[in-house]
């Protein structure tokens, strides 16, 4: 198993309190036992193991600084980490930061520029939409500060190299066309729309039943805006679905049937599964074996039976999925959305009806375009 993505949990705390966050609001409390941020010693272990990983597999991978809020990592440690990765890894191993945008400053942008590290900002739309869920611990909205962070990036001389776009968690109660036009007004290079985390035991916010299609309808409207826009921003999920419908391939977990090698490194150096599994039950992202970057090569972990078995969770096992003609496109969705406490992951996605509606709409549009 080759690793494609390494998520570095450089901070286990956050400076805002998003109500839908799978780290803090879905029952898992692992974060409470973690150091608040990576130490210099752990950063050095990470650099050493990532260097060894590339030597072992000779296959590029992405390194994404994540959290919590990754910019809570003390700046001196962040500088050591980013410079160390830049010095030790080839340019084909992309480095990125996923941030809520509220702590961006010019020194950070200069650091990202010099180390060829990109930035993506989490923002859910205009102020009233974003501030419904993405709030501060005081209850205030975070839109103003996040938008200011994006504006600061855009003013940087190397903005086109630094800024990769935005990540937007869908609120199906919002006006999809207005949200699309808002991101157009920001002139962001891309928008990655994500569905809220949920499963068969706890429905995602805004979804009234497993059979309802609120999210599918919302994203179908985004597709209409996208396909009729002569100069749209890139939208990863629609690009992936479109390519797959036309016989191509996807580039990220959650679409298609490719299996991706994803590992997470926590603030204490522990190596874990995809952290989105936290939204199912406490400890769902933990391996039985205690791996750490201080003791284990990442290639050793990736080649272990336990890691390979975990990676295969991306493939749905439900007979309903196996019999569905859309399986090569939707791939069964994210594993976390298939969870039920009695049947585990052996279920269709809680978003199955949404995928069917969206993909059917996209298929019809693509046929009409031929």
pLDDT tens per residue, range 237-246 = 999 999 999 9
- Mean pLDDT score of the chain: 95
pLDDT band at 207 (very low <50, low <70, confident <90, very high): very high
Identify the bridge partners of residue 235 per DSSP, sorted by sequence position: 191
What is the per-residue burial (b if ≥16 Cβ within 10 Å, else e) of 250-262?
bebbbbbbebbbb
Helices (H), the chain: 40-57, 75-88, 106-115, 127-133, 143-155, 159-162, 176-186, 214-227, 236-245, 298-302, 305-311, 319-322, 327-330, 352-369
Average pLDDT (91-97) is 97
Tokens of 234: 């890139």
Query: Please, which pLDDT band fits residue 124 given cuts at 50, 70 and 90?
Result: very high
- Tens digit of pLDDT for each residue in 3-54? 999 999 999 999 999 999 888 777 777 888 899 999 999 999 999 999 999 9
pLDDT higher than threshold 80 for residue 156: yes
Q: What is the DSSP letter of 71?
A: G
Q: How far apart are CA 123 and CA 150, in angstroms?
A: 10
pLDDT of 218 strictly over 90: yes
163-to-1, 83, 270, 294, 324 alpha-carbon distances in Å: 30, 18, 29, 32, 38
What's the confidence (pLDDT) of residue 111? 98
The predicted structure's pLDDT at residue 35: 95
Query: Greatest CA span in the chain, whole angstroms?
Result: 57
CA dihedral in degrees (101, 102, 107, 109; nearest 10)? 10
Gap between the Cα atoms of 206 and 202, Å rounded: 11
Task: Tell me the three state secondary structure of residue 34.
Answer: coil
pTM of the model: 0.94
Across the range 297-304, mean pLDDT stands at 96
Cα 13 versus chain centre, distance = 17
Cα gap 24→19, rounded to integer Å: 9
pLDDT value, residue 282? 83
Q: What is the pLDDT of residue 22?
A: 82
Residues 26, 111: contact at Cβ < 8 Å?
no
Domains of the chain and CATH, by start: 5-369 (3.20.20.70)
Q: Which residue has the higher pLDDT, 58 or 219?
A: 219
What per-residue confidence (pLDDT) applies to 37?
97
DSSP H/E element including 64: strand 62-66
């Amino acid at each position: 198993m080759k690793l494609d993505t390494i998520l570095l949990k450089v901070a286990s705390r956050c400076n805002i309190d998003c109500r839908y966050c799978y780290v803090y609001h879905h029952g898992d409390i692992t974060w409470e036992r973690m150091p608040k941020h990576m130490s210099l010693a752990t950063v050095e272990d990470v650099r050493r193991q990532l260097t060894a990983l590339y030597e072992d597999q000779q296959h590029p991978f992405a390194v994404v600084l994540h959290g919590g809020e990754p910019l809570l990592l003390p700046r001196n440690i962040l500088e050591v980490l980013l410079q160390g990765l830049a010095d030790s890894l080839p340019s084909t191993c992309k480095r990125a930061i996923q941030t809520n945008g509220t702590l961006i400053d010019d020194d950070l942008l200069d650091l990202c520029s010099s180390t060829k590290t990109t930035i993506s900002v989490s923002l859910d739309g205009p102020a009233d939409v974003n501030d419904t869920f993405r709030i501060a611990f005081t209850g205030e909205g975070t839109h103003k500060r996040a938008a200011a962070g994006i504006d600061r990036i855009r003013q940087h001389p190397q903005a086109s190299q630094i800024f990769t776009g935005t990540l937007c968690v869908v609120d199906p109660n919002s006006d999809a066309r207005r949200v699309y036009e808002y991101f157009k007004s920001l002139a962001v290079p891309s928008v990655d729309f994500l569905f809220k985390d949920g499963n068969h035991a706890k429905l995602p916010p805004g979804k009234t039943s497993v059979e309802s299609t609120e999210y599918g309808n919302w994203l179908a409207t985004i597709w209409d805006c996208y396909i009729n826009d002569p100069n749209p921003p890139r939208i990863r999920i629609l690009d992936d679905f479109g390519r797959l419908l036309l016989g191509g391939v996807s580039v990220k977990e959650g679409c298609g049937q490719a299996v991706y090698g994803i590992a997470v490194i926590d603030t204490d150096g522990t190596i874990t599964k995809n952290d989105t599994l936290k939204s199912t039950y406490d400890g769902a992202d933990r391996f039985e074996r205690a791996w750490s970057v201080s003791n284990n090569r990442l290639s050793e972990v990736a080649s272990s039976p336990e890691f390979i078995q975990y990676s295969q969770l991306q493939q749905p096992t439900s007979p309903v999925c196996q019999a569905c003609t859309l399986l090569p496109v939707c791939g069964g969705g994210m594993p976390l959305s298939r969870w039920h406490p009695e049947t585990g992951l052996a279920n269709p996605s809680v978003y199955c009806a949404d995928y069917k509606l969206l993909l059917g709409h996209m298929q019809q549009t693509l046929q009409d375009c031929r």
